Structure 1
Amino acid sequence: MRLAEIFERVVGADAPVRFRAYDGSTSGDPESEITLVVRTPVALNYLAQSPGALGLTRAYVAGHIDLEGDMYTALKRMSEIAFGDGVRLRDFLAIAKDIGWVKFVNRVPPPPQEMRRSRLLERGRRHSKERDAEVIHHHYDVSNAFYEMVLGPSMTYTCAVYPTPVASLEEAQFHKYELVSRKLGLAKGMRLLDVGCGWGGMVIHAAREHGVKALGVTLSKEQAEWAQKKIAQEGLGDLAEVRHMDYRNVPDGVFDRISSIGLTEHIGKKNVPDYFASLYAKLKPGGRLLNHCITRPRNDLPAMVPGGVINRYVFPDGELEGPGWLQAQMNDAGFEIRHQENLREHYALTLRDWSANLDRNWDAAVAEVGEGTARVWRLYMAGCVLGFEKNVVQLHQILGVKLDGDDSGMPLRPDFEPRRG
């Protein structure tokens, strides 16, 4: 049996993509600008071991399956295909007979870009300081040069906020930082703590645009080193600082404002109450916290899908919660909730811009980090565009205040609309 026959059995003869296999067989729409290519029999080993998304991801990352055309378009079309009855056992046996030397019982090791469970277990229990440091190293210490190619000059790896649909990525990242600044009510002389600060974007913005004395902390050594160099280049050393440290080690009670932009996803659901309690303790009375994170669209969905592609390749130990549940934890930690909004469409636009940057710099990115890692990013970002567009995931900002007695310090009708950069 030819591989194209199996493809047609699974997705139908009129699938809106082309299919081409190493055995010379073809199928699908000959006019489609998207072609799925099975390059070697090893792809079948991966699919036999892990049918579905995980097997496809392993085969693609390892280069045994390829895609010709735009990744986002391919994923969108494949997600719309009405799958049939699937492949029966006798069909797999026929394939095995045809290709001869491939034995489906032989396990093919996952590509090295996959975070193995054994490696995590060596670092201790989930969300211990040691294991969190290993997870952050896995994702964020890929290469600063690679991140510059993907993220652009702002080096901001969190959802931007687009003032208009045609705004550039840099304009949208400035707009996001200014939105956070307005919600926090930043003013000259304040002390800001930015937890999980990345490459220091919020720290630099707060210092440069608002005269705030800002401290950022990150578990990524490469991020901290890059940020400190950038702060020096900007001449902001008297106001801004980024340290390589765990947010849990920052002293309590010394900050006027705290921003947490993209950290909650790494905390773990069982640790969220302690996380918000810790941030509450670090604020002075009258202080504010702005929590910005990816969320699930419902509060009753599981926080983590064990063994999923994202957890294996992108964010090991990552967990997402619903916005209502997160808001309740902030409230129970002592914060008065003053504002909340969902920015999921903005994250789809952000990911589109990052994907375009990667495609534009593909050859240089592959030279920097290797084709396997570049493929992980290409697949993950295009898939996440779909996730935010289809409301599989959301992005929420929640603003809380640590009351000074009964005083919130908030204006009666706050205007959070940022000024243009």
Structure 2
Amino acid sequence: MTLARVFEQLAGAAAPVEFTAYDGSRAGSPGADIRVDVRSPYAVSYLLHSPGALGLARAYVTGMIDIDGDMIAALTTMQQILGEVTPRDKARILRTVMRDPLLRGAVTRRLDPPPQEAPFSRIPSWLRHSKKRDAKAISHHYDVSNTFYEWVLGPSMAYTCACYPREDATLEEAQFHKHDLVARKLALRPGMRLLDVGCGWGGMVMHAAREYGVKALGVTLSKQQAEWAQKAIADRGLSDLAEVRHLDYRDVTESGFDAVSSIGLTEHIGKQNLPSYFSFLYGKLRTGGRMLNHTITRPDNLAPPRKENGFINRYVFPDGELEGPGFIQMKMNDAGFEIRHQENLREHYARTLTGWCRNLDERWDDAVAEVGDGTARVWRVYMAGCVLGFNQNWIQLHQTLGVKLDADGSSHMPLRPDWGS
């Protein structure tokens, strides 16, 4: 059997995909919009020796297979025709390839994972989230290249879900609107003090300072983010109001903040640490202050919260843990916050990711030169896959607003939300 036929056997002969291989073989649907090019027989080894569909991802990251066509469309198609690669699928393929001497030699060799796979990503949950380990996990994902992130994220350098005010809004308009929505939910006014934990490249910090005259402190575990943000703050003349520190949020000594924002950090905290996390943030607020938590969630708490063998855990967010919105709200509530508002922005995140995918494709050659082919491939498949995740409700994005009540129970909240949409 030819190499292309091996993959056709996995997908099915009627799949709307064309398969080609380095040996000149072709299979599938000629001229299909999506083409899978198999460049090495060792792609089959990854396929057979890796759990679930991880082998396909490993083969793609290493360049042993390539995908010609829109990656979001390709993953959507592959999801429909492949689903999860089961042990039965692998046994069927193994029986086939063992009859071919070349393929037999390839599949009997177990390959090491690609170097982009985090070597520490499969540690038991009770060993995660020390300060040292969190710093290592954050560095794995965020200390890639500020230049690379500038190309992917665009001028806003906002690596969190945007909020689109209109159907035709650009990514930059949507990121501005997101930061402004957070600011309005927090009721920021000149002279206030804001703590932004997990501040990234300082987008929220600079927005609060520039647009609202707020004295804003951001903290991040990424050294590269902090350096970029501090330079951007100085270049924009905001140094008297805005500051970003390379610091674990747990090491912030100041307190009495008027508002706290957590935009895209809760995913890194870990389920067992959520009570102490929200208690810490509660303690940083003055009475009457508000906290806005913006985080990726999962639709429910019924299934296991993370796939130990999954692509995201191994390549993108080691130690990341997602919880349901109700669980997040409960832990905020238990820490003392009165919950005043919650909304799901998952469709907005699908749009945001689509914009990032477009940016990466437009600067693909530059991106490969900057971070290497393997890392660029990780990002291409990860972001496209997340578009599917948000569109199909595998994952969600919730903003939850809490307030620290005065001693007499006063919330200082308006009778109805006054921050618009």
> Which residue is equivalent to 2:22?
22
The normalised TM-score by structure 1 is: 0.95
**Which is further off, 46-55 or 363-372?**
46-55
Q: Specify the SS of the correspondent of 2:341.
A: strand
> Which residue is equivalent to 1:402?
404
> Which residue is equivalent to 2:73?
73
One-letter code aligned to 1:56 = L
One-letter code aligned to 2:250 = R
> Which residue is equivalent to 1:330?
332
Unaligned runs of 5+ in 2: none
> Which residue is equivalent to 1:380?
382
**Displacement, 1:24?**
2.4
The normalised TM-score by structure 2 is: 0.95
Q: Specify the SS of the correspondent of 1:217.
A: strand
**Displacement, 1:125?**
2.7
**Matched-pair contact (CA < 8 Å) for 2:18–2:32:** yes
1:310 aligns with 2:284: no
User: Counterparts of 1:89 and 1:118 in 2: how far apart (Å)?
Assistant: 27
**Displacement, 1:416?**
1.4
Instruction: Give 1:282-321 correspondences, 5 Å limit.
Output: 282-321=284-323
**Matched-pair contact (CA < 8 Å) for 2:44–2:106:** no
Aligned CA distance change for structure 1 residues 99 and 34 (closer, same or farther; 3 Å): farther
Residues 372-396 of structure 1: CA deviation (Å, up to 9, x unaligned): 0000000000000000000000000
Residues 250-272 of structure 1: CA deviation (Å, up to 9, x unaligned): 12532110000000000000000
Instruction: Give 1:183-262 correspondences, 5 Å limit.
Output: 183-251=185-253, 253-262=255-264
User: Counterparts of 1:216 and 1:169 in 2: how far apart (Å)?
Assistant: 23
User: Counterparts of 1:195 and 1:33 in 2: how far apart (Å)?
Assistant: 43
Aligned CA distance change for structure 1 residues 88 and 322 (closer, same or farther; 3 Å): closer
Residues 209-252 of structure 1: CA deviation (Å, up to 9, x unaligned): 00000000000000000000000011010100000000001125
**Displacement, 1:302?**
2.1
**Which is further off, 67-76 or 80-89?**
80-89
Residues 347-401 of structure 1: CA deviation (Å, up to 9, x unaligned): 0000000000000000110010001000000000000000000000000000000
**Matched-pair contact (CA < 8 Å) for 2:150–2:157:** yes
Instruction: Give 1:41-60 correspondences, 5 Å limit.
Output: 41-60=41-60
**Matched-pair contact (CA < 8 Å) for 1:300–1:322:** no
**Which is further off, 47-56 or 187-196?**
47-56
Which of 93, 104, 119 is the matching residue for 1:116? 119
**Which is further off, 239-248 or 297-306?**
297-306
One-letter code aligned to 2:368 = V
Q: Specify the SS of the correspondent of 2:397.
A: strand
User: Counterparts of 2:190 and 2:77 in 1: how far apart (Å)?
Assistant: 50
Q: Specify the SS of the correspondent of 1:5.
A: helix
Residues 332-355 of structure 1: CA deviation (Å, up to 9, x unaligned): 000000000000000000000000
User: Counterparts of 2:9 and 2:79 in 1: how far apart (Å)?
Assistant: 17
**Displacement, 1:10?**
2.6
Which of 405, 416, 420 is the matching residue for 1:417? 420
**Matched-pair contact (CA < 8 Å) for 1:196–1:261:** yes
Residues 277-324 of structure 1: CA deviation (Å, up to 9, x unaligned): 000011111111000000000122322211211000000000000000
**Which is further off, 343-352 or 42-51?**
42-51
**Displacement, 1:32?**
1.0
Instruction: Give 1:75-94 correspondences, 5 Å limit.
Output: 75-81=75-81, 87=89, 89=91, 91-94=93-96
Q: Specify the SS of the correspondent of 2:376.
A: helix
One-letter code aligned to 1:107 = R
User: Counterparts of 1:269 and 1:361 in 2: how far apart (Å)?
Assistant: 37
User: Counterparts of 2:7 and 2:368 in 1: how far apart (Å)?
Assistant: 30
Q: Specify the SS of the correspondent of 1:395.
A: strand
One-letter code aligned to 2:39 = R
Residues 57-83 of structure 1: CA deviation (Å, up to 9, x unaligned): 111000101001111110011112267
User: Counterparts of 2:158 and 2:34 in 1: how far apart (Å)?
Assistant: 31
User: Counterparts of 1:51 and 1:251 in 2: how far apart (Å)?
Assistant: 44
Q: Specify the SS of the correspondent of 2:19.
A: strand
User: Counterparts of 1:57 and 1:310 in 2: how far apart (Å)?
Assistant: 10
Aligned CA distance change for structure 1 residues 107 and 330 (closer, same or farther; 3 Å): same
User: Counterparts of 1:51 and 1:118 in 2: how far apart (Å)?
Assistant: 15
Which of 333, 350, 353 is the matching residue for 2:352? 350
Q: Over aligned residues, Cα RMSD in angstroms?
A: 1.9
Residues 18-70 of structure 1: CA deviation (Å, up to 9, x unaligned): 11123322222213111011110110111111153210111100010100111
> Which residue is equivalent to 1:8?
8
User: Counterparts of 1:173 and 1:344 in 2: how far apart (Å)?
Assistant: 15
Unaligned runs of 5+ in 1: none
**Matched-pair contact (CA < 8 Å) for 1:120–1:131:** no
**Displacement, 1:102?**
2.2
User: Counterparts of 1:344 and 1:232 in 2: how far apart (Å)?
Assistant: 34
Aligned CA distance change for structure 1 residues 111 and 82 (closer, same or farther; 3 Å): closer
One-letter code aligned to 2:336 = G
**Displacement, 1:413?**
1.2
